[in-house]
DNA sequence: ACAACAATTCAATAATTGTTGTATAGTTGA
DNA sequence: TCAACTATACAACAATTATTGAATTGTTGT
């Protein structure tokens, strides 16, 4: 994960519309959705959705596949996982106890992140 | 985690300068850094850094504390963890096998995320 | 080939964001 | 109190981003 990739992804998610689109597609998983379904679900003008789909796709957060006259979009979940890893790299000054204390303050991450191994500097 | 909070955080991290600042402070953990240290480490004009520190602080990604004539900044790691949870909510259409397959594609997340429990819909 | 449909591109406009230098507010130590 | 220092606020300008309607490209089914 290089910096340019990371900022592109964050830029993509910095818009309420694009965040809605991405989260909707994360929920759909491998099924994905075609553009028209997304537009009607989120009640967006097709033109505007297209603008945001393009931004998300250029940032590689979405993958697109043609299906006849439809375009099916899917969330690029592995990229999202890489981004999370990039964000937490070398955290907490190499002090695992800090990581544990900080995780305890988070309202909902306890079931999402793994136990901290003693030799790890990661969250 | 509401949508406005999430987009503010992503907006904050959408700039290369702010991403550098935040990752630097994640590394420092609870120690944090004062503004001048950050500016000299990243070789930024103080004025410009101040602009970005303000944006990060308003998004609550940074906490600031006065120390005499210095301002000490620290990363708000619990907020970051909440954001990660928000992003992966209800993912993969409730199908844990999809989650596992997708995790296998990520280059570096295997040591960062927990085993998937059978009844979980989360990554 | 043709009419209907799905989606995107284009052009115009509105609104927001980033960077820099200068000026200002607050703190420290002699 | 005064000079030095830390950091931010302000103003001006450059650059980018978001939204909309109209036009365009490509696909389907008859």
CA distance B27 to A122: 10
- Separation of alpha carbons A59 and B70, rounded Å: 38
Scanning every residue of chain B, which has its alpha carbon at the shortest distance from the alpha carbon of A115?
B114
CA–C1' distance B45–C30 (Å)?
29
Delimit the domains of chain A by residue range. Answer: 3-78, 90-123
Measure A46 CA to nearest chain B CA, in Å.
22
**Confidence (pLDDT) at A93:** 65
- What the block records as the tokens of A11 is 């830029």
Two structure tokens written together for A94: 């190499």
Binary contact (B29, A85; C-beta < 8 A): no
SS3 of residue A110 by DSSP:
coil
Q: From edge to edge, which strands make up the β-sheet containing A33-34? A: A33-34, A70-75, A62-67
Phi and psi for A45 in degrees, rounded to 5? -60, 135
Separation CA B8–CA A19 (nearest Å): 11
Tokens of A3: 């910096």
From chain A, the residues in CB contact with B121 under 8 A are none
Residue from the list B14, B106, B113 with its beta carbon closest to the beta carbon of A114: B113
In this prediction, residue A57 has a pLDDT band, given cuts at 50, 70 and 90, of very high
Q: By three-state DSSP, how is residue B75 classified?
A: strand
More confident residue, B88 or A48: A48
Per-residue pLDDT of chain B (123 residues; tens, 9 = 90+): 888 899 999 999 999 999 999 999 998 888 999 998 998 888 888 888 999 999 999 999 999 999 999 999 999 999 988 888 888 877 776 777 777 787 777 664 434 443 333 333 333
On whether the B3-78 domain is CATH 1.10.10.10, my answer is: yes
Chain A interface test: which of B25, B109, B121 (most A C-beta within 10 Å):
B109
Distance, CA of B42 to chain centre? 18
Token couple for A76: 């690029």
């Amino acid at each position: 994960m290089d910096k340019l990739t990371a900022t592109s992804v964050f830029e993509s998610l910095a818009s309420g519309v694009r965040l809605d689109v991405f989260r909707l597609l994360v929920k759909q998983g491998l099924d994905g959705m075609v553009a028209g379904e997304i537009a009607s679900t989120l009640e967006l003008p097709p033109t505007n959705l297209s603008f945001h789909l393009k931004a998300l796709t250029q940032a590689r957060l979405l993958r697109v596949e043609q299906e006849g006259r439809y375009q099916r979009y899917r969330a690029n979940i592995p990229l999202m996982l890489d981004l999370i890893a990039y964000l937490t790299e070398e955290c907490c000054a190499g002090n695992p106890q800090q990581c544990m204390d900080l995780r305890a303050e988070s309202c909902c991450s306890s079931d999402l992140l793994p136990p901290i191994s003693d030799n790890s500097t990661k969250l």
